[in-house]
Amino acid sequence: MQDETLLDILKKRGVSRRAFLKFCAAATSLMALPPTMASAVAEALAKAKRPSVIWLSFQECTGCTESLTRSFSPTLESLIFDAISLDYHETLQAAAGTAAEAARETAMKENWGKYLLLVDGSVSTRGGGYYSTVAGKTNLETLKEAAAGAAAVVCIGTCSSFGGIPYAKPNPTGAVPVSDIVKDKPVIHVPGCPPIPAVITGVLVQYLTFGTIPDLDELGRPRSYYGDTIHDRCYRRPYYDQGKFAKSFDDEGARNGWCLFELGCKGPTTHNVCATTKWNQGTSFPIQSGHGCLGCSEPNFWDNGSFYQALSTPIDSVAAAAATAAVVGVAAGVGVGIANHHAKAKAKAEHETVTVNDLEK
Amino acid sequence: MTFMDLLLWARGPALVGAVAIFVFGMVLRLFEIYSLGRKPDLAPPRSGGPGSGWRTLWARSIPSKPFFKVSMLTYIAGYTFHLGFFVVLLLLAPHIMLIRSVTGLHWPNLPTPLIDLVAVITLLALIVTLVNRIMDPVKRFLSGVGDYVAWTVTFLPLLTGYMSYHHLLLDYTLMLAIHIMSVELLLIVFPFTKLTHMMSLFISRWFNGDWFARRGVAS
Amino acid sequence: MSGLDGIGVKVIDAGGDGSARAVLREIETLLTVLVEKGEEGSIDLSSLPLTPEAYDLLEETLGEGEVTAEVSSLGVTRVHETGIPGVWWVTHYNEDDDVMAEFIEVTHCPEILLTPEDDVKDGLEALRARLFEENMNKSSVE
């Protein structure tokens, strides 16, 4: 089973070569590769082995798994998931209890050093991590154990990538992102709350196709998906350039679909592909639906100021500080003024009139 | 520390600190200057009423022909960058948002491409003034460190703003943070350099006009 | 009954043509390459932020050509040659009729229409098998 190539698996499912070609064209588009790469993708996929995948869920809301599974158009993504061997996923697997844990251990042992580890959710570290446990083991322990034998770790969602909601102030569980724990393996971040399903599958397909880690940005996100900001590719960008802004959620500007910058849109500082790939099979994305971007694929998005405050405005109260400073300034000014007057008066008092007689001495 | 952390710092504590220093410094400087006072003028005024001071405000703002001929470049480049600076500062939508969130005051904005053009012209005018300052022997002789500091802190906000809008060189988040911090630098050094002229200029001009009128040369 | 009509949403043209003009220029470049060097090229439309207006402009400018084809495999793939010979519009749908991927292909014939080499071989074998079976049936009747 492990030696089967992807093409063998697809053939068994009655997928013709034309269908395979179509699959490769869609996969190329999914990976945001130039379309000329389709034949290279086809060649690589025909030879690709079926990798073992272990998916661990820690402090998370299962939204990432929902994003992936609810989006299934019954062709492309399901084919990809048929192509991988998902050996452990608490929510999706049939096995439960000890059988589930046994499945994970078997998969790890059989594919030691080769399996792909997918993680959603952040890891609790306070007091040794007892805030989140599965089968009596802390997430911290499980992660360390599973990461040791992984070829690479893919962090699905903002929680595992950057800490996300559990990491938000005051962070009661001492949550940390996976990259704080796993230091010696390649870690790919696929942030988003949740991430776009096509981006999750795109990263998996790339690994499946070329066995390589995509080019990552300084925050560990694949550049092909997180290279541009939402603002860069937003269809409302012309309105920003023209200086046409919605001032409230129900004014004329909002109805006209003008730029949401003034309503706190975080598009300019958020790197993701929502504006082009969109959600629900390309139906829409938040800005298209009339709400500004929350910046969910960026670190600490929960603590980065109000969702409804424009990016160019101050976070703290400037007016109060300015008023205090003015009062202090007046006080200091009066002080300096008095000192100057004294100096002047003193100079005047010490001034000795010089007469011609004095000079003649 | 991520770029976003830096941006949050720039928008938060750094901005509060910079504005506080700016307000404190300006109030202090103005008090310092005007509390010195003048000796009372005991002579009866020769001509003019209170109007002369106000007229001088305008008269001095319009270059006189002989002066304009001699230092045309100084006038044109100077006026261009001053006007450009205020257009960019006061009429770009995100800037108006900032002013609105602090003071509650707001007004219509100009289209961004127009602001963009004005920013480029302003930057060029500033470069012209710097080159002129260095090339001209008299200006070079008169210039001290403070003049170059004032030029730099004026130039940086425009340059970084332009670069962040066009996503040049650095990531937008980082560039925006740098832009905001460059403005904070401007605010901090403002009261302690010749930039204070923004506040003292028109008061001095009014005073001169009024004084001259008392001496019989009303404008 | 959807209540959406009750919401006062207006769609107003943002001005400009989105990326349509850029895409048309790219098609021109690819077509030049095809004419001069014989190299094929394609543009992935699904990765571009095209507005409905940009789509319309693209369709309008390219026009309709002589060939329309439909491939049924993993859902439907609709292929048509545009009014500019050598420029093909290829849309891959999945089994739910959602667009999976969409390309402008600048080529003499899109690859998806060509019969794959291995399939031709399989076809030959299948035909021979059918003829053999028929012969057997005939001989058994006689």
First to last CA, chain C: 67
pLDDT-derived band at C9, boundaries 50, 70, 90: low
State the pLDDT at residue A81.
63
State the pLDDT at residue B94.
86
What residues of A are in contact with residue C8 (Cβ under 8 Å)? 255
Last residue of a domain, one of A162, A195, A226: A226
Residue A240 resides in a domain: no
State the pLDDT at residue A1.
46
Residue B13 resides in a domain: yes
State the pLDDT at residue C97.
79
- Total domain count, chain A: 2
What residues of A are in contact with residue C34 (Cβ under 8 Å)? none
Residue A239: burial class (beta carbons within 10 Å; 0-12, 13-18, 19+): buried
Residue A144 resides in a domain: yes
C-alpha A116/C-alpha A50 separation (Å) is 11
Closest approach of A135 to chain C, Cα-based (Å):
40
**Interchain CB contact of C43 with A (< 8 Å):** yes
pLDDT-derived band at C1, boundaries 50, 70, 90: very low
**Residue B54: phi, psi to the nearest 5?**
-65, -40
State the pLDDT at residue A221.
93
| B20/A321 Cβ within 8 A | yes
First to last CA, chain A: 119
What residues of A are in contact with residue C69 (Cβ under 8 Å)? none
A abuts B (3+ Cβ pairs < 8 Å): yes
C-alpha C9/C-alpha A58 separation (Å) is 41
How large a percentage of chain B has pLDDT more than 70? 98
Closest approach of C84 to chain A, Cα-based (Å):
20
Residue type, A15: V
Closest partner residue to A73 (CB to CB) among C41, C49, C96 is C96
What tens digit of pLDDT does each residue of B140-188 get? 999 889 899 999 999 999 999 999 888 788 888 889 899 999 999 999 9
Closest approach of A15 to chain C, Cα-based (Å):
8
| B97/A312 Cβ within 8 A | yes
Q: Residue A123 has which token pair?
A: 């890891």
Coil vs helix vs strand at C102: strand
**Interchain CB contact of B30 with A (< 8 Å):** yes
C-alpha A110/C-alpha A87 separation (Å) is 11
Highest mean pLDDT among A189-193, A326-330, B73-77, B212-216: A189-193
State the pLDDT at residue A291.
94
Task: Say if residue A170 is preceded by a cis peptide, omega within 30 of 0.
Answer: yes
In sequence order, what are the beta bridge partners of A118? A55, A154
Residue B174 resides in a domain: yes
C-alpha neighbours within 13 Å on the C-beta side of residue C82: 21
Residue A104: burial class (beta carbons within 10 Å; 0-12, 13-18, 19+): buried
The residues near A99 (Cβ < 8 Å, ≥ 6 apart) are none
| Mean pLDDT within A325-345 | 85
Domain with residue A107: its CATH number is 3.40.50.700
- Total domain count, chain B: 1
Domain span holding position A329: 318-360
| Mean pLDDT within B121-150 | 91
The residues near A185 (Cβ < 8 Å, ≥ 6 apart) are A147, A150, A151, A152, A153
Coil vs helix vs strand at B49: coil
State the pLDDT at residue A74.
46
**Interchain CB contact of B7 with A (< 8 Å):** yes
The ipTM, to two decimals, is 0.74
The residues near A58 (Cβ < 8 Å, ≥ 6 apart) are A119, A120, A121, A122, A123, A124, A132, A139, A143, A159, A160
| C43/A276 Cβ within 8 A | no
Residue A236 resides in a domain: no
pLDDT-derived band at B209, boundaries 50, 70, 90: confident
Residue A252 resides in a domain: no
Query: Is the per-residue pLDDT at A61 higher than 80?
Result: yes
| Mean pLDDT within C26-36 | 92
What residues of B are in contact with residue A321 (Cβ under 8 Å)? 16-17, 19-20
Coil vs helix vs strand at B105: coil
C-alpha A62/C-alpha C107 separation (Å) is 45
C-alpha A277/C-alpha A26 separation (Å) is 13
Last residue of a domain, one of A226, A258, A279: A226
Residue B20 resides in a domain: yes
Last residue of a domain, one of A177, A202, A226: A226
- Pairs of CB atoms within 8 A across A/C: 96
State the pLDDT at residue A134.
87
**Interchain CB contact of C52 with A (< 8 Å):** no
What residues of A are in contact with residue B31 (Cβ under 8 Å)? 329-330, 332-334, 336-337
**Are A88 and A220 members of one domain?**
yes
pLDDT-derived band at A317, boundaries 50, 70, 90: confident
Domain span holding position B88: 3-33+63-214
Tell whether the torsion through CA atoms of B67, B72, B76 and B81 is positive or negative.
negative
**Are A13 and A147 members of one domain?**
yes
Task: Say if residue A191 is preceded by a cis peptide, omega within 30 of 0.
Answer: no
| Mean pLDDT within A245-270 | 90
What residues of C are in contact with residue A75 (Cβ under 8 Å)? 74-75, 94-95, 100
Residue A233 resides in a domain: no
C-alpha A204/C-alpha A27 separation (Å) is 10
